[in-house]
Amino acid sequence: MNDTIRHDIKTLTGGSVAFGEFVEVRGWVRSRRDSKAGISFLSIYDGSCFDPIQAVIPNNLANYQDEVLRLTTGCSVIVEGKLVESQGKGQTHEINAQRVLVVGWVEDADHYPVAKKRHTFEYLRQVAHLRPRTNAFGAISRIRTTVCNAIHRYFHERHFHWVNTPIITASDCEGAGELFRVSTLDLMNLPKDPAGRIDFQEDFFGREAFLTVSGQLNAEAYALALSKVYTFGPTFRAENSNTSRHLAEFWMVEPEVAFADLQDNAWLAEDFLKYLFTCILDERQDDLAFFTQYIDAQVTGRLESLVTSEFELMEYGEAVRILEGYHKSFEFPVRWGLDLQSEHENFLSETHVGRPVVLINYPAEIKAFYMRLNDDGRTVAAMDVLVPGIGEIIGGSQREERLDVLDSKIARAGLAGDMEWYRDLRRFGTVPHAGFGMGFERFINYVTGMENIRDAIPFPRTPKHALF
């Protein structure tokens, strides 16, 4: 196993393995090119890095005619040979093969769904089990890994605690969207109470249960003891959203910090995002080069400028005034007290500012009950981070820590008595605290230039789609 790890392609081409050493590579064939010089070239990838390694296969190998010349894109192979400096252009290392073992053939090569050509992402979604074999999805997968690790590293270095908040929740007032029901009741034979309603006391949890739409409320409980916490896990929204930026199942990062206000929150969001940008630039230059060449020419340059430029901090009221100046060009009205539409958010981040915008202090009426009421009595300490091309990548707020204010907002929102444990957090040693949620797949799209969020997650779940 040690040998296997040492000899992935990233290691072989990374400089730590000496030329002349006998090595083995295990992977899949990207392409085969034959030369009349008596050799064939195999490009082999194993997912460890963007570039494949080139294996030079001499025609005197025993299985050259019968097997090597029949290799096509997608075949799995093990190649043993000597690691040498490449004689050709385009790579530093290559393997002079002494043995080629074909592990798995591609049957019916002309119908192999992932041919050695460009495919549309719409098509690849229909073969989601095979699309990780493409350059694009290999690159996306590696960037996801890099960002996941960077997220944990960022918080770990700053003494945040990773809190694994529940996937199943009994709270139907998380307020972030429609919920998926979790139940073991027999749908064909539902138990009823005397009033004729479904009797959820008979259900698995003895009450209605759902998949979480946010770990925030639970994270608050831990922030009010451990000071700095975050959640990172799957999130479920049963909204009938059919757009390039919505998934029914997605991953979300939610830091929550005690003794913090909205300014702290905005600063954390910007510092956090810049840290992630830097990590991608440091670790994934190979994949970024691919996205820059084939997907979005601005990708690398944008990341480089983002880590050094300040995000624009803007009051909701100021945003409204700006947008009102362009009123004629919008389909939807702009007025203080109305929520901003996608066209408005896009205008602010893409056209007016040209980089991420942190919008703060929204009208209380259009935001969730747990957001802290500002002294003006009509706005709450909410913030949205808007980025060009994606829109809202982060949403957060300072939380209402005053019990009396929270109670009035709970009452106004019509939320019932399930909030007792949440109220306890204000009854026993309450402190100002704040946090936000970042959509992981939206972040992936932003840093890769990919346009559809269904291509930012391995197996996307959207309305009417739960294949694979």
Partner RNA sequence: ACCUAGGUAGCUCAGUCGGUAGAGCGUGUGACUGUUAAUCACUAGGUCGGCGGUUCGAGCCCGUCCCGGGGAGCCA
Span 283-312, contacts to RNA by CB under 7 A: 294
Q: Which stretch, 2-10, 162-170, 296-304, 339-347, contacts RNA (CB under 7 A)?
A: 339-347
Query: Is residue 60 a contact point for RNA (CB under 7 A)?
Result: no
Strand order in the sheet with 209-211: 168-169, 209-211, 181-182
Q: Backbone phi, then psi, for 198, in 5-degree steps?
A: -65, 130
Residue 335 binds RNA (CB under 7 A): no
Q: Is 438 in the site for RNA (CB under 7 A)?
A: yes
Per CB under 7 A, does 212 bind RNA? no
Which residues lie across from 233 on neighbouring strands? 252
Subset of 115-134 contacting RNA (CB under 7 A): 115-120, 122-123, 125-126
Q: How far is CA 275 from CA 7, 23, 145, 250, in A?
A: 30, 36, 15, 22
Minimum CB–partner distance for residue 19 and RNA (Å): 13
Which residue, 316, 314, 322, is CA-closest to 339?
Answer: 316
Degrees, nearest 5: CA angle 150-155-160 = 160
Identity of residue 267: W
* Near RNA in 241-280, by CB under 7 A: 241-248, 250, 252
Q: How far is residue 208's CA from residue 185's CA, in Å, rounded to a whole number?
A: 11
Q: Smallest gap, in angstroms, from Cβ of residue 212 to RNA?
A: 12
Q: Residue from 16, 60, 66, 88 that binds RNA (CB under 7 A)?
A: 88
Specify the residue, 247 or 434, whose C-beta has the smaller distance to RNA: 247
Q: Which of residues 29-48 bind RNA (CB under 7 A)?
A: 31, 33-37, 39, 41, 43
DSSP alpha helix (H) spans, 95-206? 121-125, 135-157
Q: Which is nearer to RNA, 228 or 454 (CB)?
A: 454
Interface residue with RNA among 9, 44, 56, 303 (CB under 7 A) is 56
Give the one residue of 19, 326, 332, 336 binding RNA; rule: CB under 7 A: 332
Site for RNA in 357-376 (CB under 7 A): none
Residue 227 lies near RNA (rule: CB under 7 A): no
- With contacts defined by CB under 7 A, name the span among 108-116, 144-152, 195-203, 370-378 that binds RNA: 108-116
Strands 22-35 and 39-45: antiparallel
**Residue closer to RNA, measured from CB, 332 or 421:** 332
Asked whether position 464 contacts RNA by CB under 7 A, the answer is yes
User: Which is it for strands 391-399 and 379-387: parallel, antiparallel or unpaired?
Assistant: antiparallel
Count residues binding RNA (CB under 7 A): 76
Tokens of 220: 């608050």
Query: Are 288 and 303 spatial neighbours (Cβ–Cβ below 8 Å)?
Result: yes
- Least CB distance to RNA at residue 180 (A): 12
Rank residues 150 and 295 by Cβ distance to RNA and give the closer one. Answer: 295
Q: Which is nearer to RNA, 113 or 317 (CB)?
A: 113
Nearer to RNA, 122 or 424 (CB): 122
Near RNA by CB under 7 A: residue from 46, 94, 220, 270: 94
Q: Is the distance from CB of 439 to CB of 232 less than 8 angstroms?
A: no
Residue 386 C-beta: closest distance to RNA, Å: 9
Distance CA 149, CA 377 (A): 41
In eight-state DSSP terms, residue 14 is T
Residue 399 interacts with RNA (CB under 7 A)?
no
CA distances (Å), origin 339, targets 234, 323, 362, 381, 435: 27, 12, 9, 15, 21
Site for RNA contains 388 (CB under 7 A): no
Q: For RNA, give the closer residue by CB, 21 or 122.
A: 122
> Which residues have C-beta within 8 Å of that of residue 257, sequence separation ≥ 6?
223, 227, 228, 229, 264, 265, 268, 433, 434, 435
Question: Which span sits near RNA by CB under 7 A: 2-10, 111-119, 273-281, 304-312?
Answer: 111-119
